Chain A
């Protein structure tokens, strides 16, 4: 292995020479000595030493701490301070440059030697970690890109499937065949919905999701969403109560508001048992509106509550769970945020959950 190159920074020429000689005796190479902070940076760039031994109080405009900070950030070279100063403020400033050691003068040779060896070892370990981190980051990026491509590819055969099912629906079939066509259609639609959710999350991450503002009727959103949930709610004999003023309009992105409400209402129906109750209230508070969906379902434990809006989080990850990707509430949160609103929840395990969101009636600015 090549010998370790150490750059000595010390403004007293005689002391610098002495340190240099002692380092050479220990088996290190001292290719240069810098007498000021500016020179230290210049030499570090030229020589690319394995380590810099840095005095703190230096003549000239730049002290050792400033020079160490630059050497660390610009060249990623480990620095060990060698100084007579142990004042708290100096120590605190030195710490900010993330040094690999701090030796107090006068020092013993053994002490200097072990400190340098430890610093070199720590630096090597840190490098390894950094490389692993970079590698993982790269792999994560590749995986994200791959998933993005994969989901797009999975989506494209769906278009001809759904289109051809609609052609088949016009055909003259027996009741059984019609049922088959219906099942293919519903399954393809379900698959499309799942893929779209994943793609929406990748679009959110890329900052591509923007609002298209128009006048949105809240009662209409509620009615439309409940219409598509009716079959499941009816099958469970659930009672759905709605309290909303007839003509409540807000300035918003209609598709996103429909997705927000649809998601929360569908969760309420999904997680509420037979003969349960779901209350939907829309409160006009002047500046904004607050929509609350209260159910008498399974509820969420206190432990899980802080995480329900987190992406991928699912209360139940067993295979017998009730379906979905664990993305719905994270998308809801993002859509509400884009509108400058808030979403929150309260719940009692076994009793039910309340999910609410507020939306300003007028958009002052478009959030990014």
Chain B
């Protein structure tokens, strides 16, 4: 038991990237993969929900404007499934009103695009340290 505990402690925290722009999702993954395990990339809200259920990631980075199920719907759905889910919204197209809506839907923090590696690493670390 003790050994398993140690193993778990050393394991990387898991992150699910939800982003429909390929270069952007790849970039977010590149920025976070040294310190975290990227368990998948979802390109819309529907995929985000199913991948969340499969992978149970420690944190989700969530785009807002996407085809089919959008980010706000996905946030609601994920939070309903797991109220402890940790969701970081990363959006460029979202207006301040949409960001507010996302926070009301249950998002834990938001980040405006464009952002730098320093900012995303700081925000992700801060969010995960609360758990």
A interface, CB within 8 angstroms of B: 152, 155-167, 169-170, 188, 192, 203, 208, 210, 212
Contact = CB atoms under 8 A, between A and B. Distances in A.
11 contacts: A159-B92, A159-B114, A159-B115, A160-B21, A162-B115, A163-B27, A163-B31, A164-B27, A165-B116, A166-B117, A167-B27
Nearest to B28: A163
Contacts of B114: 158-159, 161-163, 188, 192
B118 interface: yes
Contacts of A203: 95
Given A160-B27, A208-B95, A167 B21 contact: no
Interface pairs A-B: 6 shortest CB-CB: A166-B116, A162-B114, A159-B113, A160-B23, A159-B114, A166-B117
A188 B93 CA distance: 17
Given A156-B21, A159-B24, A208-B97, A167 B117 contact: yes
Interface string B87-131: 000001101110000000000000001111110100000000000
A163 B117 contact: yes
Contacts of B115: 159, 162-163
A167 B116 CA distance: 8
Contacts of B24: 156, 159-160, 163
Residue of B24, B92, B114 with highest tally of chain A CB at under 10 A: B114
A170 B27 contact: no
A162 B119 CA distance: 12
Contacts of A170: 117
A156 B93 contact: yes
A161 B115 CA distance: 10
Nearest to B93: A152
Given A156-B21, A208-B97, A163 B92 contact: no
A158 B116 CA distance: 12
Contacts of A167: 27, 30-31, 117
Nearest to A255: B96
Nearest to B25: A160
Interface in B1-51: 21, 23-24, 27-28, 30-31
Given A159-B24, A160-B24, A160-B27, A166 B118 contact: yes
A163 B23 CA distance: 10
Nearest to B90: A159
B112 to A, nearest CB: 9
A340 B27 CA distance: 43
Contacts of A166: 116-118
A155 B113 CA distance: 9
A162 B116 CA distance: 7
A161 B23 CA distance: 9
Contacts of A192: 114
Given A158-B113, A167-B31, 13 more contacts: A155-B92, A156-B24, A159-B24, A159-B114, A160-B24, A162-B115, A163-B28, A163-B114, A166-B116, A167-B117, A208-B95, A210-B96, A212-B96
A194 to B, nearest CB: 14
Contacts of B92: 155-156, 158-159
Nearest to A164: B27
A158 B31 CA distance: 16
Nearest to A167: B117
Contact of B116 (A152, A157, A163): A163
A170 B120 CA distance: 14
A73 B16 CA distance: 60
A165 B116 CA distance: 8
Residue of A155, A164, A169, A212 with highest tally of chain B CB at under 10 A: A164
A160 B30 CA distance: 11
Nearest to B24: A160
A185 to B, nearest CB: 9
A178 to B, nearest CB: 16
Contacts of A162: 114-116
Contacts of A212: 96
Contacts of B95: 203, 208
Residue of B27, B30, B118 with highest tally of chain A CB at under 10 A: B27
A203 B94 CA distance: 12
Contacts of A156: 21, 24, 92-93, 113
A165 B24 CA distance: 13
A352 to B, nearest CB: 37
A157 B113 CA distance: 10
A208 B97 CA distance: 9
Contacts of B97: 208
Contacts of A152: 93
